[in-house]
């Protein structure tokens, strides 16, 4: 049964000012429409250019559920290609990442392609003579994603021709990327430490919403962060607070802490928590780091960069970054009830190793499938994914601190426990879902 395909009105009706219909989380049809419309109409994160430093380097990932390749072409430019052979559809690359040399070669029939995707050669090509092959879908080679933007190393792509250009889509929200990158004395990041991959039996949007949900940590994480605080209390007086406790304990901060941290709202579903302070504000200084920053930027600018303690910045549709600890979480949709969460970490080039060590500790303590904090969250998502099948109430409430005049506003800072960011994400969801319908 199709309820929503080609029916922009029905899709719009799923999102109300203060609530959303459960079909945005549980309906496979809505999920397929997200993959056909919402993701292709949006600028979606693909990868970081440090993953493909040399010509011929590639990295395989997905935009929505579509397989794509990030690849460094011989001219040094980064391209995004659909990862399928134009012949039979075979995925071209075997490993997730590697170096393909000067060309890709399909392992099935040895069709080969330059690293910008264009067709290089086909064995026994004369078999295609006088067949009209030049007019076929196969002739151009591996189809490129036409709209690609490398923003200071972070590569985004938009599959559809319509929609917004890159600057219009992200607007002022790019300041969070700027702050994360500027924390390197040379203004450069490098993917480092390996990626944590954590499978979630829930809809991808539950994870996105949770990034700006500041009323859950002291409740859902009482079991992990609360226990950590209690166990730490028993340490002998005078014991130096370990890095792990510095990382976990702030999750137990009271409501007031989160109310006062503030939330900023930008256009198109982007926004961040931690306008004034965050759970990352009180980490111990890393020896030698500030001196390097001061030498690179001057004291005033270095302080301004490091005083910015944005908590979670959500980039619609499906990533979150943490500038102060150089971490990016990618919520990859697989099905209405299945999401792969990849948590990536970055090294600040020319900064002390201890910063990466802390980032990696944060990642494994909070984002690993073995993480007790992760267990707390996933339990809530999975219970919601189940609970939403109840017909007793078909709506999810997003009403906290709602104001009727918020729809047109952008770049405003509000109470840190507002659900405005979630309402804003769903306004963007409707916009990019129905765009061109």
Q: Is 230 in the site for other proteins (CB under 8 A)?
A: yes
Q: Which is nearer to other proteins, 149 or 322 (CB)?
A: 322
Q: How far is the CB of 316 from other proteins (least distance, A)?
A: 24
Considering only residues 370 through 399, tell me which ones interact with other proteins, judged by CB under 8 A. Answer: 370, 372, 374-376, 378-380
Beta strands in 116-168 (DSSP E): 119-121, 147-151, 154-158
Q: How far is the CB of 331 from other proteins (least distance, A)?
A: 13
Q: How far is the CB of 187 from other proteins (least distance, A)?
A: 21
Given candidates 268, 345, 425, 430, which one binds other proteins under the rule CB under 8 A?
A: 345
Residue of 242, 188, 230 lying closest to 365 (CA atoms):
242
Q: Which is nearer to other proteins, 123 or 236 (CB)?
A: 236
Q: How far is the CB of 383 from other proteins (least distance, A)?
A: 8
Residues binding other proteins: number (CB under 8 A) = 44
Given candidates 10, 55, 139, 244, which one binds other proteins under the rule CB under 8 A?
A: 244
Q: Is 368 in the site for other proteins (CB under 8 A)?
A: yes
d(CA 327, CA 356): 10
Given candidates 227, 260, 281, 415, which one binds other proteins under the rule CB under 8 A?
A: 227
Q: Which is nearer to other proteins, 193 or 323 (CB)?
A: 193
Given candidates 120, 192, 296, 437, which one binds other proteins under the rule CB under 8 A?
A: 192
Q: How far is the CB of 190 from other proteins (least distance, A)?
A: 12
| Contact by Cβ (8 Å): 125, 149 | no
Choose the stretch contacting other proteins; rule: CB under 8 A; options: 169-177, 179-187, 229-237, 385-393.
229-237
Q: Which is nearer to other proteins, 223 or 410 (CB)?
A: 223
Q: Is 165 helix (H, G, I), strand (E, B) or coil?
A: coil
| Residue 23, CA atoms < 13 Å, CB-side half-sphere | 16
> Which distant-in-sequence residues (6+ apart) come within 8 Å of 120 by Cβ?
103, 112, 113, 114, 141
Q: Is 228 in the site for other proteins (CB under 8 A)?
A: yes
In this structure, is the dihedral angle defined by the CA atoms of residues 214, 167, 408 and 38, taken in order, positive or negative? negative
Given candidates 87, 105, 216, 364, which one binds other proteins under the rule CB under 8 A?
A: 364
Q: Is 242 in the site for other proteins (CB under 8 A)?
A: yes
Q: Is 284 in the site for other proteins (CB under 8 A)?
A: no
- The residues with which 151 forms a beta bridge, in sequence order, are 154
Q: Is 73 in the site for other proteins (CB under 8 A)?
A: no
Given candidates 29, 222, 246, 394, which one binds other proteins under the rule CB under 8 A?
A: 222
> Which distant-in-sequence residues (6+ apart) come within 8 Å of 89 by Cβ?
none
CA-to-CA dists, residue 137 to 66, 86, 89, 141, angstroms: 18, 7, 12, 8
Given candidates 199, 295, 304, 407, which one binds other proteins under the rule CB under 8 A?
A: 199
| Contact by Cβ (8 Å): 171, 266 | yes
Secondary structure (H, E, C), 234-277: CCCCCCCCCHHHHHHHHHHCCHHHHHHHCEEECHHHCEEECCCC
- Per-residue b/e over 111-128, b at no fewer than 16 CB within 10 Å? bbbbbebebeebeeeeee
> Which distant-in-sequence residues (6+ apart) come within 8 Å of 44 by Cβ?
63, 64, 156, 157, 158, 159, 317, 318
Q: How far is the CB of 70 from other proteins (least distance, A)?
A: 19
Given candidates 198, 266, 331, 432, which one binds other proteins under the rule CB under 8 A?
A: 198
Contact residues toward other proteins (CB under 8 A) are 192-201, 220, 222-224, 226-228, 230-232, 235, 242, 244-245, 248, 340, 345, 353, 356-357, 360, 363-365, 368-370, 372, 374-376, 378-380
């Amino acid at each position: 049964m199709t309820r929503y395909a080609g029916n922009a009105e029905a899709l719009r009706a799923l999102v109300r000012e203060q609530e959303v219909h459960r079909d945005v989380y549980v309906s496979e049809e809505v999920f397929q429409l997200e993959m056909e419309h919402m993701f292709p109409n949006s600028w979606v994160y693909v990868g970081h250019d440090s993953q493909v430093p040399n010509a011929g380097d590639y990295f395989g990932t997905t935009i929505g559920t579509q397989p794509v390749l990030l690849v460094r072409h011989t001219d040094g430019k980064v391209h995004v290609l659909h990862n399928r052979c134009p012949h039979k559809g075979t995925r071209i690359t075997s490993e997730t990442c590697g170096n393909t040399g000067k060309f890709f070669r399909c392992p099935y029939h040895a069709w080969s392609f330059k690293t910008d995707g264009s067709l290089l050669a086909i064995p026994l090509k004369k078999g295609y003579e006088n067949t009209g092959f030049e007019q076929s879908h196969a002739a151009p080679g591996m189809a490129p994603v036409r709209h690609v933007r490398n923003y200071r190393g972070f590569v985004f792509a938009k599959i559809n021709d319509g929609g917004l250009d890159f600057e219009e889509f992200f607007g002022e929200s790019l300041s969070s990327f700027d702050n994360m990158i500027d924390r390197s004395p040379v203004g450069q990041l490098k993917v480092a430490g390996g990626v944590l991959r954590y499978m979630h039996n829930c809809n991808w949007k539950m994870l996105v919403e949770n990034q700006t949900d500041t009323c859950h940590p002291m409740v859902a994480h009482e079991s992990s962060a609360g226990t950590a605080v209690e166990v730490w209390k028993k340490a002998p007086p005078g014991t130096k607070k370990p890095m792990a406790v510095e990382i976990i304990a702030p999750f137990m901060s009271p409501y007031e802490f989160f109310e006062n941290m503030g939330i900023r709202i930008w256009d198109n579903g982007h926004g961040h928590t931690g306008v004034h302070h965050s759970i990352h504000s009180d980490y111990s200084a890393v020896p030698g780091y500030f001196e390097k920053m001061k030498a690179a930027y001057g004291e005033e600018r270095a302080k301004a960069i490091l005083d910015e303690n944005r908590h979670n910045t959500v980039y619609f549709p499906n990533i979150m970054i943490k500038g102060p600890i150089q971490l990016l979480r990618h919520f990859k949709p697989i099905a209405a009830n299945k999401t792969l969460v990849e948590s990536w970490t970055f090294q600040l080039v020319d900064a002390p190793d201890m910063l990466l060590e802390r980032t990696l500790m944060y990642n494994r303590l909070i984002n690993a499938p073995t993480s007790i904090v992760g267990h707390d969250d996933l339990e809530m998502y999975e219970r919601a994914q189940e609970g939403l099948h109840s017909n007793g109430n078909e709506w999810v409430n997003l009403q906290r601190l709602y104001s009727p005049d918020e729809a047109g506003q952008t770049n405003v800072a509000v109470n840190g426990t507002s659900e405005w960011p979630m309402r804003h994400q769903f306004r963007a969801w409707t916009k990019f879902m129905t765009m061109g319908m």
